Amino acid sequence: MAHMNIVLHEPEIPSNTGNIGRTCVAAGATLHLIEPLGFKLNEKSIRRAGMDYWKELDVRIYLDYDDFLKKNEGAVIYYATTKGPHVYSDVHYEDNCFIMFGKESAGIPEDILYDNQKTAIRIPMIGKTRSLNLANSVSIVLYEALRQHDFDHMKLEGQLRSYRWK
């Protein structure tokens, strides 16, 4: 069963984190939050965005980036950034890898990106668009990683309430 890890480096907007938490529950991914956070984890806006899924979320919190690295020594980490040299869909995501996203106002610090150029990835965009919404970016990259593993632990067929598929 493929497992992915989503890392938010100093997230600032509680509703984004709530939406990402909900996505992680739906995808069976673990959410890792690197402090400082721009909100408190018990804020109403996180609960509203994450709905009733937040209690099912595997979430881990770290004091800072160094604490994250120390507790996940040897992990394969991809750094999602608008500055990345590699397109996210050209990468092979290993089982149990980590995909890191930066804070909404500034992204991942450039010194971290410079030290990890080989695993810095980007979502292509047209023109002068600065970035996509953080929750949308997480969904795009996470589901590409899961697709590469054939969605092996996921429900692949839905059901209608009043009809049966032919």
Question: Where do the DSSP E strands lie in the chain?
Answer: 5-9, 30-34, 59-62, 77-80, 86-87, 98-101, 120-122
What three-state secondary structure class fits 146?
A: helix
Instruction: Output the CA angle 10-15-19, nearest 5 degrees.
Output: 95
Helix (H) or strand (E) holding 65: helix 65-71
Annotated binding site: 102, 123, 131
Annotated binding site for S-adenosyl-L-methionine: 102, 123, 131
Helix (H) or strand (E) holding 71: helix 65-71
Give CA separation, 16 vs 72, 77, 89, 124, 127, in Å. Answer: 24, 21, 23, 21, 24
For residue 112, report the phi and psi dihedrals to the nearest 5 degrees.
Answer: -65, -45
**How far, in Å, CA of 60 to CA of 146, rounded?**
21
